[in-house]
């Protein structure tokens, strides 16, 4: 063999040895990478399935009439979601185990925990004696219990539009989405006065003699729209419950704009010139009120729907809290003896209110302002220079009354959101409206702190305004609000 051939054989042998050495080093690395990729895919799918299962289980906690049935619903739902997302034998895994635990993990908070594990196969790592690797994942989701006050507008316009049965049906479907025994629900209805139809309780699906759904069925629709007082009373129920750990909610349903407001109205003790109650466009000299007592009257006053005119009828002063679900809202306010508006019965006499009430105060009885969103202009809305009540909001102007009612509702909503302890959320649902008076969408956005609101504040509880143009969309509107509430709760 010559020298060149010998050198060639030595080089060939060296290459074989080097290749063998490289393959011995690279193959385990490649095998480890493949096995690791498989384990990563299994772990990712297992984690996603566990998270989805826990979340679905937490959302199912509202199902059932007892705590035990709610736990059962959450457990079954979590298992079903896990099975759908990580079936037996996925990527050749075996020995799948899963466990669902439902427990109260904090005050007013229940958590659903999903523990899952599988044995994953290996391929290249078997050369090291490792045939299976156990992969584990944990998913957890919590649901805060709810304190919810449902405010239902029962004004006459709903009955006139033939929408009363649709309002009842949508409200009842909404109520059924919450958990008996854990969530606390109550209801206040409002026209001019408010009425607490259903004091807040955990037994809203089983209470005797009437459940919340049965109470909704008994609603009677008639009268004005006292939005501000309803909002305030709903908030006060949350204040009384006083559970910062819960999800505190006010749900406000209406089909119109505010027409009534409640306040401590000062008695007119001075003679002045104002619009006549009988000829509403005529200014007349008006003496001091004949009321037996000069003490301010806690009452509501109102103006007709479909008008924001500076002249026209205004009414008062009437009882602020209804005495029954079918209460006649023309009942006199307390301490009305001797007043002009108390000299007869019915709506026509209540128009004499402007002879007895001096003006609309700057704040209501709870220090909420009647100024703001809708600006007053003088002299149409404010008593002019030369009047002893100069600069005060007129009670003889329908526009002034309705502006004050709008401002009061807007300011009360802002005060509710400013409660840093309870952090209440407000959700508004608006139905239709009429061709003569459409809903004020901006006001309802403001009340809810909806992201579309011109005064939206991302640092305060963010609610939602949902509009149902007709009763056909009302169920969907209530369902949308319920879905958003459950999103917040989890």
Say what the pLDDT of residue 22 is: 43
Structure tokens that stand for 89 in this block: 């034998």
Residues 6+ apart with CB under 8 A from 24: none
Q: Nearest Cα to 432, choosing from 63, 153, 57?
A: 153
Residues 6+ apart with CB under 8 A from 483: none
Pairing of strands 425-431, 283-286: unpaired
- Classified as helix, coil or strand, 53 is helix
CA dist 251 to 146, 198, 254, 428, 483, Å? 12, 14, 10, 6, 13
Q: How many CB atoms lie within 10 A of CB 172?
A: 17
What is residue 31's DSSP assignment?
H
- Has residue 129 got a pLDDT over 70? no
Region of 178 on the Ramachandran plot (φ > 0 left; ψ -120 to 50 alpha; else beta): beta
- Has residue 2 got a pLDDT over 90? no
- Has residue 474 got a pLDDT over 60? yes
Who wins on pLDDT, 185 or 124?
185
- Has residue 11 got a pLDDT over 90? no
- The overall average pLDDT reported for the chain is 91
- Has residue 369 got a pLDDT over 50? yes
Who wins on pLDDT, 65 or 241?
241
On the 0-12 / 13-18 / 19+ scale of CB atoms within 10 A, 83 is middle
Q: Which helix (H) or strand (E) holds 173?
A: helix 164-175
Phi then psi for residue 273, to 5 deg, are -115, 130
Q: How many CB atoms lie within 10 A of CB 424?
A: 23
Say what the pLDDT of residue 103 is: 94
Query: Which domains are seen in the chain, by residue range?
Result: 27-144 (no CATH), 145-490 (3.40.50.410)
- Structure confidence at residue 122 as a pLDDT band (50, 70, 90): confident
| Structure confidence by residue, pLDDT tens digits, 226-249 | 999 999 999 999 999 999 989 999
- Classified as helix, coil or strand, 260 is strand
Residues 6+ apart with CB under 8 A from 428: 252, 253, 254, 444, 445, 447, 448, 450, 463, 464, 465, 466
Who wins on pLDDT, 81 or 122?
81
% of the chain beyond a pLDDT of 90? 78
Phi then psi for residue 49, to 5 deg, are -65, -40
| Structure confidence by residue, pLDDT tens digits, 420-434 | 999 999 999 999 966
| Structure confidence by residue, pLDDT tens digits, 28-51 | 555 566 778 889 999 999 999 999
Structure tokens that stand for 224 in this block: 């004005």
Structure tokens that stand for 211 in this block: 């459940």
- Has residue 375 got a pLDDT over 80? yes
Asked if 310 and 381 touch (Cβ cutoff 8 Å), the reply is yes
Q: Stretch 87-111: mean pLDDT, rounded? A: 93
- Structure confidence at residue 330 as a pLDDT band (50, 70, 90): confident
Model-level pTM? 0.86
- Has residue 98 got a pLDDT over 50? yes
Range in 16-30, 312-326, 358-372, 455-469 with the lowest mean pLDDT: 16-30
- Has residue 435 got a pLDDT over 80? no
% of the chain beyond a pLDDT of 70? 91
Q: How many CB atoms lie within 10 A of CB 5?
A: 9
User: What is d(CA 351, CA 174) in angstroms, rounded to the nearest whole number?
Assistant: 39
- Has residue 346 got a pLDDT over 90? no
- Classified as helix, coil or strand, 190 is strand
| Structure confidence by residue, pLDDT tens digits, 288-299 | 999 999 999 999
What is residue 40's DSSP assignment?
H
User: What is d(CA 238, CA 247) in angstroms, rounded to the nearest whole number?
Assistant: 10
Q: Nearest Cα to 357, choosing from 300, 309, 304, 305?
A: 300
- Has residue 436 got a pLDDT over 70? no
- Has residue 3 got a pLDDT over 50? no
Task: Tell me what percent of the chain is helix, strand and coil, each rounded to the nearest 5.
Answer: 40, 25, 40
User: What is d(CA 112, CA 116) in angstroms, rounded to the nearest whole number?
Assistant: 13
First to last CA, the chain: 84
Distance of alpha carbon 342 from the chain centroid? 40
Would you list the DSSP string of 293-341?
--SPEEEEEE--TT---SSS--EEEE-SB-SSTT--TTPBPTT-TT-GG
Q: Stretch 318-328: mean pLDDT, rounded? A: 91
Asked if 78 and 110 touch (Cβ cutoff 8 Å), the reply is no
């Amino acid at each position: 063999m010559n020298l060149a051939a010998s050198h060639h054989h030595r080089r060939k042998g060296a290459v074989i040895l080097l290749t063998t050495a490289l393959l011995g080093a690279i193959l385990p690395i490649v095998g480890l990478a493949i096995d690791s990729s498989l384990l990563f895919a299994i772990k990712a799918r297992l984690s996603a399935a566990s998270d989805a299962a826990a979340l679905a289980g937490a959302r199912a906690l509202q199902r059932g009439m007892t705590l035990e049935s709610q736990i059962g619903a959450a457990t079954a739902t979590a298992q079903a979601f896990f099975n759908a997302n990580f079936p037996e034998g996925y990527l050749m895994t075996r020995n799948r185990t899963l466990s669902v635990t439902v427990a109260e993990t904090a005050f007013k908070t229940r958590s659903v925990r999903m523990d899952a594990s599988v044995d994953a196969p290996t391929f290249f790592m078997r050369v090291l004696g490792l045939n299976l690797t156990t992969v584990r994942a944990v998913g957890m989701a919590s649901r805060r219990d709810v304190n919810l006050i449902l405010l239902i507008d029962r004004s006459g316009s709903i009955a006139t539009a033939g929408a009363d049965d649709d309002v009842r049906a949508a409200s009842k479907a909404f109520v059924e989405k919450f958990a008996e025994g854990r969530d606390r629900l109550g209801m206040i209805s409002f026209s001019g006065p408010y009425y607490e139809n259903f004091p807040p309780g955990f037994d809203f699906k089983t209470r005797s003699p009437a459940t919340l759904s049965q109470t909704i069925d008994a609603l009677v629709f008639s009268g004005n729209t006292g939005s501000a007082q309803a909002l305030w009373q709903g908030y006060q129920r949350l204040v009384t419950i006083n559970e910062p750990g819960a999800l505190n909610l006010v749900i406000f349903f209406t089909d119109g704009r505010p027409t009534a407001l409640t306040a401590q109205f000062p008695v007119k003790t001075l003679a002045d010139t104002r619009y006549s109650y009988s000829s509403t466009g005529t200014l007349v000299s008006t003496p001091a009120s004949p009321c037996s007592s000069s003490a301010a009257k806690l009452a509501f006053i109102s103006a007709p729907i479909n008008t924001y005119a500076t002249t026209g009828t205004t009414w008062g002063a009437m009882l602020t809290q209804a005495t029954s679900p079918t209460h006649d809202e023309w009942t006199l306010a307390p301490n009305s003896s001797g007043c002009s508006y108390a000299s007869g019965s019915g709506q026509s006499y209540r128009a004499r209110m402007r002879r007895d009430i001096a003006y609309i105060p700057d704040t209501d009885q709870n220090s909420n302002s009647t100024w703001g969103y809708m600006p007053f202009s003088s002299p149409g809305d404010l008593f002019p220079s030369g009047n002893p009540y100069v600069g005060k909001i007129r009670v003889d102007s329908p526009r002034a009354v309705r502006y004050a009612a709008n401002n009061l509702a807007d300011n009360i909503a802002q005060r509710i959101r400013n409660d840093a302890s309870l952090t209440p959320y407000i959700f508004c649902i608006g139905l239709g409206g009429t061709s003569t008076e459409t809903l004020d969408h901006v006001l309802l956005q403001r009340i809810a702190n909806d992201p579309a609101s011109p005064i939206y504040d991302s640092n305060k509880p963010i609610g939602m305004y949902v509009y149902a143009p007709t009763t056909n969309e009302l169920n969907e509107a209530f369902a949308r609000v319920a879905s958003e509430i459950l999103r917040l709760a989890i």
